Structure 1
């Protein structure tokens, strides 16, 4: 599968007899990973079944992710028979990343260690170990495979963003332009958003059929409206909707187009349709952490408070170092407040403001939670920080960013759920 024109991320499942440290060598322009079985310990029959089963399952499951090109098992097995270092194996298979691991079984328990390796310099991008009881080998295999799949894709995405940031601007290809733009998007400032917009446009100029770049443009237009930076917010929402649909038309199996469509539909007060769009993204990739977060975010403003908390909890488990950590914690605060427990929400709201990339809306959520909890003196400094970051901030801007289902018009006496409840308190303290 091709991603971003000339660039591909490829994944292979291979077994190596030896693991030597690879040297620093840039492997063409393909980005990938290989699952390497390092060794077996304990009972050979259990270890062999587990290690081989994990490698086969990882190959199968990774091949379902639309942004990864997976090398066939037969090719991986052929390379495994050769006495190669990881760098050499990656070069033969045309991949950038390797997934290596060990399986140890003693008849009662199993320990599996898995690591994601960048074959160009031998750096570990992610690693984890799993200790499990061994009553059901296949259930154990499914459990570990699911956890590894959930971790690998965001780890590769983070590595690609960092790599793009280190690439000279004049040398960026379409894939690198996209990842550099995505890094700017997640900073949630007006200037970063405009920089991201230019990078996505550049990616499309290089590769007019790069679906994710169109999703990126949807993201930036949505952010202009969300961050109250659009002179005519409706125009940016319409453009965001158009670009999200264009992304889906180009590649309906890419989760980002559906994810962006869900966000735009939410902003357009189409909550049910928004949830449907996000659900399509999660059908494609059930381990898509940001998809679960956005489902929780929309649900928090659609009266689905318990479901919202479950979705955000899952998102945080799947991606504990996600660039949207601040938003996940803020969503926790909103959902808990909507359940009538603002005092319990305060800690989540304050923690959200302490995360990287937290924007002024998150500060406003903290102010609202504190006020609702009867802590007005503590709420006021957050309002002051909001006004310092975004002069002219208003209750109406908050309501536009966080629309409630079936409540298009704010009511001064609203005491129900979501943004209107917060808004009445923000108006009272600010």
Structure 2
């Protein structure tokens, strides 16, 4: 991965980071690097995520899902980290041998539309829940199972499970002899993309799972005790420094439609990991060049409380733009859509710098398996490094658990004090 933080320097942007500040911060990065490497080696909770590229067995994943390799579609049933990683990988690598779909919400209309559009007799289903009790995931799976049964499809022949050692989902897998993967030990869901959690759909689609893991291993090998020698650390460090200087929003703006889901994945990773103790940048998702026409006005002329992260592959397929005699458009003829998109990228980068707004450039070699694996791994590293510098509990999510308990109590799934807060809501109704 390639990182350019020049437009985040204080000589260019407000807020910005001086080179002297980065030099001082680099001592802390070196100490954080030692903590991270020790955590990886000892397989500590959370840090174990960065060992996944070497722990995950690509051949085992591919062999287990081989009976479903002729599927026309693959449906991931999960929520949060149990779905976003798989969706990101599938979207980044393209259709492959099967279309990828996700059920990660319990909107009845959305669920019905997804199921109505699927060829259920040719659809592989991957159900993911660490606990096996996640209400949204289990509810959706029950709906999917019923739809398959009503369509005359044996759901047990089309379903793969990833879950913990015990729980209702594990018991179901054992009862029906379903192929089942273990969620990786010591790995929070949002950091689990380079495991069966994120790779099963890609394997069913025929994508290069080994290549994804090789990209992750390249990220591991690139770890070095300086932000100047490690792009992942450089990104995490500059985001930390900019937040301290007022850039409390991080806009992730990929210039490749296949990376649009990556922005969704990044938003969870950054928000759930770093939003602690009154700290944490708010991640915002954008898409270049589309959102140059919808959001860029705010970024250039609004509050200077943002850093914009621009992401693109260096190598992309071309699509020629036909010539035309239309006045004012002839300059486009003979060019290429990729050339135009790159020009849009560089123009946006320059326009942000001209407006003194900090921005960072991230580039991967190509949207292939190794490039995607490296990008995902490096963003996990950047997030963990930022958490170390912020001194927050990167791998927990207590605020999320509060909401889960409240919802479960409302549904009759137990006696939870959090559910009482719903009844006590302050109201000021206007009709």
> Looking at both structures, which has the greater relative contact order when contacts are Cα pairs under 8 Å and sequence separation is at least 6?
2
Give the TM-score category using the shorter length: under 0.3
Structure with more helix by fraction: 1
TM-score, normalised to structure 1's length? Answer: 0.26
